Amino acid sequence: MSAIRQLGHQMFASLKIRNYRLYFIGQALSNAGTWMQIVALSWLVLQLTGSGVALGTVLAFRFLPMLLAGPFAGIVVDKFNKRHILYATQTSLALLALALSILVYTGTIQIWMLYTLALVIGIVATIDNPTRQTLVHEMVGRNNVRNAVALNSTNANVARAIGPLIAGSLIATVGIAFCFAANAVSFCAVLFMLSRIRPSELHHEEKESVPITNVLASISYAASVPLIRNILLSMLAIGMLTYEFQVSLSLLAQNTFNGTAADYASLLSAMGAGSVAGGLYSASRQTITLREFVLAALLFGVAICFTAIMPTLSLAIIGMIFVGFFSVNVTSLGSTMIQLESLASMRGRIMSLWSTVIFGSTVIGAPVIGFIGEVANARWALAVGGATAILAAAYTALSMRKREEPQIIEAEVEIATSAEEAKDAAAV
């Protein structure tokens, strides 16, 4: 029994911290709305055009700002108050979701409008993503950063399991517009929780004085640290061709299995359910090894390839559970390692590069995967992503052997259990 209590203590350590607990609750509600919008947007594009290339193009517009301006966003994140930035970005995203809802509800939506709105959403998200990631580090401190990153991933993937199912039901009953409206309302939860965070309890590390004043120098810094460089290069490949599930799964549901929006939602929800299990597993771990990252990336790719050859929708849904489990371990391990390896003064810029390689690469990857899914079939589109993850794992393993880098990045991530944190946990 004591072992179980200890495991639970390790798994949910960051939730003892009041600021993070409030943020976690707000994000849980907002993430569900986000996944409702993701399902609605993909299905809307297919309804308007029936084209995988068009769907990939919408995603390319969505992530183009992250590719072009992602490294610049880190400078903003490092310079300004992160809570104030999030007030602005979260409000903007809410208004954009509301605009989408109105356009769809009134029947005036056209594909060029989706391209435009996707571009604007991408501009806002370019600043929003690294801000949220670095704020989490400030809320929990260095000792709990892996646990918090894993719980964040679990949070997002609980939403991935629930949000698409709700979206599928809404699309079948009241229409796509209400998915966008629900997402707009969900941002209110984040804004409220941000207002309740206590700035005095944030962890502000002393920032080293480093002569880095421009984006090229920031990239040079990332390239000079072997562990950061190798992880970013691996995630660039995975982000470009593997994490294009909005394209590959929607085509798999519609074209391969002749399914509906509910079937597409089921594939995403299964991935979310697997990611919840994977996130809880990751959160319970205290060691962080590069070898673990390689293994997770390898199994991630293998799981995708097996899912691509499943003969029925039901078996593909089961396969997506395993895809989700290994997916969240890849991202949580990669994110944690580069944050711990970065200088405090560079963390915002490094996390901007992280967002750029994962999301910005979609500008190239989404149209490519859409083209493969349309010209060949969705199974090939999915399999290409799986093979890419396997190759990325091989590259990381090879680079680790060549440089004989230490396998353990942080020998042990200690769990903070101060009396003040216990008091805060009991007070709320």
pLDDT digits (tens, 9 = 90+) for 50-108: 888 888 889 889 888 877 876 677 777 777 788 899 999 999 999 999 999 999 999 99
Sequence-ordered list of residues with C-beta below 8 angstroms from that of 210, at least 6 positions apart, any chain: 221, 343, 345, 346
Cα–Cα distance measured from residue 127 to residue 67, given in angstroms and rounded to the nearest whole number: 12
The average pLDDT across 102-130 equals 91
Segment 226-267, tens digit of pLDDT: 888 889 999 999 999 999 998 899 899 988 998 888 898 899
- Residue 243, classed as helix, strand or coil, is coil
Task: Report if residue 68 sits inside a domain.
Answer: yes
Percentage of residues of the chain with pLDDT beyond 90: 32
Query: By mean pLDDT, which of 209-218, 339-348, 394-403 is the weakest?
Result: 209-218
Number of domains in the chain: 1
> Is residue 206 assigned to a domain?
no
Q: What's the average model confidence in pLDDT over 26-36?
A: 89
Q: Is residue 238 part of a domain?
A: yes
Model confidence pLDDT, tens digit, residues 265-314? 899 889 988 887 887 777 676 667 788 899 999 999 999 999 999 999 99
Answer yes or no: is pLDDT of 217 > 80: no
Which string of b and e fits 131-148 if b means at least 16 CB within 10 Å?
bbbbbbbbbbbbbbbbbb
Q: Which residue did the predictor score with more confidence, 411 or 325? A: 325
Specify the DSSP element, H or E, that contains 288. strand 288-289
Tell whether the model's pLDDT for residue 413 goes beyond 60. Answer: no
Three-state SS at 122: helix
Q: Is the pLDDT of residue 330 over 50?
A: yes
Report how far residue 291's alpha carbon sits from residue 397's, in angstroms, rounded to the nearest whole number: 7
According to the model, what pLDDT value does residue 118 have? 93
Look up the domain containing 383 and give its range: 11-196+215-427
5 belongs to a structural domain: no
- Amino acid at site 241: L
Query: Is the alpha carbon torsion for 400, 405, 408, 409 positive or negative?
Result: negative
| DSSP element (H, E) containing 233 | helix 226-237
pLDDT band at 9 (very low <50, low <70, confident <90, very high): low
Note if the pTM is more than 0.85: no
Length of the chain: 428
**142 Cβ contact list (under 8 Å, min separation 6):** 203, 205, 340
How confident is the model at residue 349, as a pLDDT?
Answer: 76
CATH of the domain at 261: 1.20.1250.20
How far is residue 4's CA from residue 106's CA, in Å, rounded to a whole number? 54
Question: What pLDDT does 406 receive?
Answer: 45
* DSSP-derived 3-state class of residue 408: strand
In a domain, 210, yes or no: no
Q: Please, which pLDDT band fits residue 2 given cuts at 50, 70 and 90?
A: low
Q: Residue 204 domain-assigned?
A: no
DSSP 192-214: HHHHH--GGGS--PPPP-----S
Cβ–Cβ < 8 Å for 345, 218: no
Assess contact for 151 and 284: CB atoms under 8 A.
no
Looking at residue 214, what is its pLDDT? 57
Note the pLDDT of residue 5.
Answer: 57
pLDDT at 403 over 60: no
Q: Is residue 205 part of a domain?
A: no
Provide the CB-side half-sphere exposure for 342 (13 A, CA).
34
